[in-house]
Amino acid sequence: MNQLFKRLEDSFGLTAESPRKPDQYFCTVDANKLVACITHLRDNEGFTILTLLTAVDWIEDGKFQLTYLLNNPATKTDLGVRIFIERDNTSMQSIHHLWGHAATFQRELKEMFGIDFPGSPRVDEPFLLEGWDDIPPMRREFDTKKYAEETYFPRPGRETNDPAQYMKQKLYPDE
């Protein structure tokens, strides 16, 4: 894997990370070099399967982290290629031309985080949240508790407990 990282560092300027497991590695590349990098990984390095495309909201830094998890079936190795993009008016180049199912991941990220993938099939159509008119619910500024309180009515017999106090009472009832 060190040789692979060296080749990718020379060609795409990636930053190698330590392995998470013996068969799982992560690296970071500039967003403008991502498509070229993962195309190279697919076509030349055997990472032929896109397993996952996911996002993390780093609201404090004003960025989203996108992770493209690729698999090399010959070596049974996973490689997560990470990029960072700005949170405001955010968009990223689509990779649906490399893996058709990437369009599904991209539709989900558009709806849940507001990350646009221009040119991706059906990216602007509702996917999970038909009729949703609030901010994307996976953004960290979305207030889940407030939304639930405003949307759903309280049901009789339901209580809300402080988890720490509740467990203390259940585990140590005599104290």
pLDDT value of position 3: 85
CA 2 vs CA 11, 43, 155: distances in Å:
14, 19, 57
Homologous superfamily (CATH) of 2-156 is NADH:ubiquinone oxidoreductase Nqo5 subunit (3.30.460.80)
pTM: 0.85
Name every residue whose Cβ is closer than 8 Å to that of residue 168 and which is 6 or more positions away in sequence: 175
pLDDT band at 78 (very low <50, low <70, confident <90, very high): very high
Residue 65: pLDDT over 80:
yes
Structure tokens at 75: 């070596």
Q: What is the mean pLDDT of residues 66-77?
A: 97
CA 91 vs CA 88, 111, 173: distances in Å:
9, 12, 53
Mean pLDDT of the chain: 92
pLDDT value of position 106: 98
Rounded distance, CA 42 to CA 30, Å? Answer: 18
Contact 49, 100 (CB under 8 A): no
Tens digits of residue pLDDT in 108-154:
999 999 999 999 999 999 999 999 989 999 999 999 989 988 988 87
* Long-range CB pairs of 162-170, under 8 A, 24+ apart, other chains included: none
Residue 155: pLDDT over 80:
no
Rounded distance, CA 115 to CA 119, Å? Answer: 13
Residue 160: pLDDT over 80:
no
